[in-house]
């Protein structure tokens, strides 16, 4: 049985607390073959998975830096090899789009051409539409003038199409079955923290029922935990639930993972004799939990002493907000 904390009055969870871009970027990088199989099985079947695939995010930023046409959760550029044919080396441009935007298809058209222009190799643009507008499904962009025609057609995966298939998602051995379910449940519980807690607890239980390896469980938990934000009093209940599961299953996967990560990282920094190493590690941990850091937090990290960094590292374990880690007020 979970020890129940005294429950404060339920507060609404607003969209500013929800983070989608970081978890999606992490998930795609760690489970790219599964991503392709899950959302784009026909395209996946043409890729030579025996060859290395390479993410080229810095190159993508250089290609499109002056062609910003709206925001999105995530965009990635991946170099892969395809089976057979002459054009074995190609590029895949992925977009995870979180909002309905009139210029979305135009952006894919622009980015696709610029990628081709840079590498002179075929480039496939693929889109996951993670917004909540069920009927919005752009798949093409182009124009015709004076007998001239130019355009693209691109495959999409629409996450709202999976809303009636939650049981299938949760039974899937593909990582993106669980991630898709988590994304949908995060959207559906945006205003209800107790419902989100119940959904998150259900997903964590499924993690253990799948009998996956330790590292897969840890990584998927990190993605779910990042995606499904909860207030600290409910996070405490989640931790107790995990502890109960791991005691029953006689495993130790998640209960100490945050503390282990901090301890190992700080030890590495000291071994290097560099406070900068500790600062870089702490920044990664903060970004993992709270998202992109504001300028004031970056400045604090760059000027902190070793003792201060260690204190902040311990604070990450229990602090409900970024400001609480640094012991500053929220208006700083």
Instruction: Give the pLDDT confidence of 29-43 residue by residue, as tens digits.
Output: 899 999 999 999 999
Distance CA 327, CA 268 (A): 25
* Lowest mean pLDDT across 12-16, 136-140, 186-190, 216-220: 12-16
The pLDDT value given to residue 213 = 87
Residue 12 clears pLDDT 80, i.e. is over it = no
In the predicted model, what is the mean pLDDT of the chain? 81
Is 304 part of a structural domain of the chain?
yes
Which of 75-84, 232-241, 307-316 is predicted most confidently?
A: 75-84
Residue for token digits 């190493």?
A: 277
Same domain as 171, residue 150: no
The pLDDT value given to residue 317 = 67
Structural domain containing residue 318: 263-326
The pLDDT value given to residue 78 = 95
Same domain as 273, residue 241: no
Same domain as 275, residue 220: no
Residue 203 clears pLDDT 90, i.e. is over it = yes
Rounded to an integer, the average pLDDT of 155-181 is 95
Is 9 part of a structural domain of the chain?
no
Pick the residue with more confidence: 9 or 152? 152
Give per-residue pLDDT as tens, 212-235.
888 888 889 888 888 888 888 888
The pLDDT value given to residue 158 = 96
Is 269 part of a structural domain of the chain?
yes
Is 11 part of a structural domain of the chain?
no
Question: Any bridge partners for residue 123, and if so which?
Answer: 91
Among candidate residues 185, 216, 249, the one where a domain is terminated: 249
Residue 263 clears pLDDT 50, i.e. is over it = no
Same domain as 238, residue 267: no
Is 331 part of a structural domain of the chain?
no
* Mode of pairing for the β-strands spanning 140-145 and 148-153: antiparallel
**Number of domains within the chain:** 3
The pLDDT value given to residue 1 = 34
Greatest CA separation found in the chain?
Answer: 72
pTM: 0.71
Same domain as 172, residue 134: no
Q: What is the 3-state secondary structure (H, E, C) of the chain?
A: CCCCCCCCCCCCCCHHHCCCHHHHHHHHHHCHHHHHHHHCHHHHCCECCCCCCEECHHHHHHHHCCCCCCCCCEEEEEEEEECCCCCCEEEEEEEEECCCCCCHHHHHHHHHHHHHHHHCCCEEEEEEECCCCCCCCCCEEEEEECCEEEEEECCEEEHHHHHHHHHHHHHCCCHHHHHHHHHHHHHHCCCCHHHHHHHHHHHHHHHHHCCCCHHHHHHHHHHHHHHCCCCHHHHHHHHHHHHHHHHHHCCCCCCCHHHHHHHHHHHHHHHHCCHHHHHHHHHHHHHHHHCCCCHHHHHHHHHCCHHHHHHHHHHCCCCCCHHHHHCCCCCC
The pLDDT value given to residue 87 = 67
Is 258 part of a structural domain of the chain?
no
Cα torsion 142, 144, 147, 150 to 10°: value is -10
Residue 311, token pair as written in the block: 């204190």
Pick the residue with more confidence: 95 or 290? 95
Among candidate residues 108, 130, 160, the one where a domain is terminated: 160
pLDDT band at residue 165, thresholds of 50, 70 and 90?
very high
């Amino acid at each position: 049985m979970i020890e129940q904390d005294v429950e404060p009055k339920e507060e609404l969870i607003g969209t500013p607390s929800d983070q989608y871009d970081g978890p999606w970027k992490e998930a795609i990088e760690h489970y790219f073959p599964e991503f392709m199989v899950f959302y784009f099985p026909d395209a996946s079947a043409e890729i030579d998975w025996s060859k290395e695939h390479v993410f080229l995010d810095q190159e993508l930023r250089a290609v499109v830096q002056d062609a910003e046409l709206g925001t999105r959760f995530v965009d990635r550029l991946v170099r892969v090899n395809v089976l057979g044919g002459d054009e074995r080396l190609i590029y895949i441009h992925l977009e995870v789009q979180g909002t309905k935007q009139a210029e979305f298809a135009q952006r894919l058209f622009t980015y696709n051409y610029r990628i081709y222009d840079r590498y002179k190799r075929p480039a496939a643009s693929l889109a996951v539409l993670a917004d909540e507008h069920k009927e919005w499904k752009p798949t093409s962009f182009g124009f015709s003038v004076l007998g001239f025609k130019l355009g693209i057609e691109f495959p999409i995966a629409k996450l709202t199409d999976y809303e009636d298939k939650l049981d299938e998602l949760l039974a899937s051995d593909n990582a993106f079955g669980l991630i898709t379910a988590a994304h949908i449940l995060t959207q559906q519980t945006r205003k209800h923290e107790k419902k989100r807690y119940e959904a998150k607890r259900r997903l964590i239980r499924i993690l253990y029922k799948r009998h996956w390896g330790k590292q897969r469980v840890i990584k998927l938990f990190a993605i779910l935990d990042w995606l499904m934000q909860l207030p600290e009093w409910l996070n405490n209940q989640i931790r107790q639930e995990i502890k109960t599961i791991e005691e029953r299953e006689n495993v130790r996967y998640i209960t100490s993972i945050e503390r282990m990560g901090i301890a190992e990282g700080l030890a590495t920094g000291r071994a290097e004799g560099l406070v900068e190493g500790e600062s870089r590690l702490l920044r990664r941990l903060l970004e993992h939990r709270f998202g992109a850091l504001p300028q004031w937090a970056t400045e604090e990290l760059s000027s902190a002493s070793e003792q201060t960094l260690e204190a902040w590292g311990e604070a990450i374990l229990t602090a409900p907000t970024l400001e609480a880690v640094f012991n500053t007020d929220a208006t700083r």
